Copies of this chain bind each other. A is one copy, B any other.
Amino acid sequence: LFTELTSSNGSAARAGRHSKATHQETKTYNSRLVLRTIYDHGQISRADVARRTGLSRTTVSELVAELLAQDLVEEIGFGLSNGGKTPILLQVRDASRSLIGVDLSRDEFRAELVNLRGETQHAVSQPLLGRRGKAAIDLVYELLDELVPRATSPVLGIGIGSPGLVDIERGNQVHWSVNLDWMDLPLRGLIESHYDVPCSVLNDCQASAIAEHFFGPDRNRSHNLVVIKSEQGLGSGLILNGQIFHGDNNGAGEIGHVVVQPDGLPCRCGNRGCLETLASVSGILERIAAQRPRIPRTAVYNPARRRQLLDIDEVRRALDNGDPLVRQVVHEAGAALGTAIANLVGALNVQRIVIAGGIVALGQELLNVIQEEVLRRSLTALARETEVVFSSLGSRITILGASAVFLQQELGLTPFR
């Protein structure tokens, strides 16, 4: 098997430059391999690390000594002997580093301080209340001002999941976010200079995909994964060959703005009949509100007021009670999602499709519609081996994924590698 050196984010290759292997890179690689092995196995001896990694015992001992000195790993007592010396067990010190994850994709901004397992140490949130532009940035500062001082261990980084297109090449700028009225906002630079902590900004759906990949039930099994998040907006994040796939201009996963009904409802992107108008939580709420006779119409059209009249839990109750209008709108949403998933499955043959976000509240009835439509529109053999499931990570998914970026970047704790 020929192995090849590639940069972890592909940027060297993308720039057309060639790189060569050096001893320092080999050492960094092996150190990360050891840390990852300990992280993945919970409690493990040096001998077992050597066995699982193929590294020599001497190399493992040297690398573990450094990890102990860095406080990333700790010795926690003795394991069972296999006849020889009683082995000392190692584990990762989950509280030895902190991470901050921020979710800007909802109608309230949320942020959490978490440990190396993504467990909450402290959580804060603030309702957005329509704030845009500079006022929305100030809200981010407000949340971070509260969180950063609470860290009791070194903060590896601040990961931000933002709606819209995020330009990875040019320093994590938010290239375009309609809802927040941000254009080419150098959010990463702003945060880094303000807090002197590494920051990473990524699309909130891509963050959700990282979360599912890293903390989901399928960790260390699926190499490919699509997460579709339906909330105010609708988008997806693609994990292909174990890494987020960004596409040529960071727009990969933007399936919410593929037009599925050319004569459909107007979308905030300027087109009509985008998938988002049919299958986002906002789209579902608006379509029900628009058609529901028992909701009084005011003389002046007021979308903010109309939207407040309904929430997704109310839709779920109406669905459970057999409300025919709600049933129709939800089934149309499910069919549209199923069609989009059939297209994804046909193009990518990814066998694990996870649906996340507020739409999950609609439960099994929605999932059944989606699954039936995928089956109806796909090559039977492909559909049979594909699982379409709801995420179990709940509303913390974006925060988890945004913070996990630093588990990967700073510690190399990527699943699979």
Give A contacts to B, CB under 8 Å.
1-8, 10-14, 16, 18-21, 25-26, 28-30, 33, 37, 52-55, 176, 220, 222-224, 236, 238, 240-243, 245-255, 257-259, 262, 269-271, 340, 342-344, 346-352, 376-382, 385, 409, 412, 416-417
Contact = CB atoms under 8 A, between A and B. Distances in A.
Contact of A342 (B243, B259, B346, B379): B259
Which among A347, A351, A377, A417 has the highest number of chain B CB atoms within 10 Å?
A347
Nearest to A26: B21
One complex includes copies of this chain to the number of 2
A186 B220 CA distance: 30
B223 A347 contact: no
Which 8 A-B pairs rank lowest in CB-CB distance, beginning with the nearest?
A247-B349, A251-B349, A258-B346, A259-B377, A257-B379, A248-B351, A21-B26, A343-B343
Contact of A248 (B37, B249, B350, B417): B350
A314 B272 CA distance: 38
Contacts of A379: 251, 254, 257-258, 269, 271
B13 A29 contact: no
Contact of A16 (B16, B346, B416): B416
12 contacts: A1-B12, A4-B8, A4-B29, A10-B223, A13-B416, A16-B220, A18-B54, A238-B348, A248-B349, A254-B346, A255-B346, A258-B347
B20 A2 contact: no
Nearest to A273: B377
A174 to B, nearest CB: 14
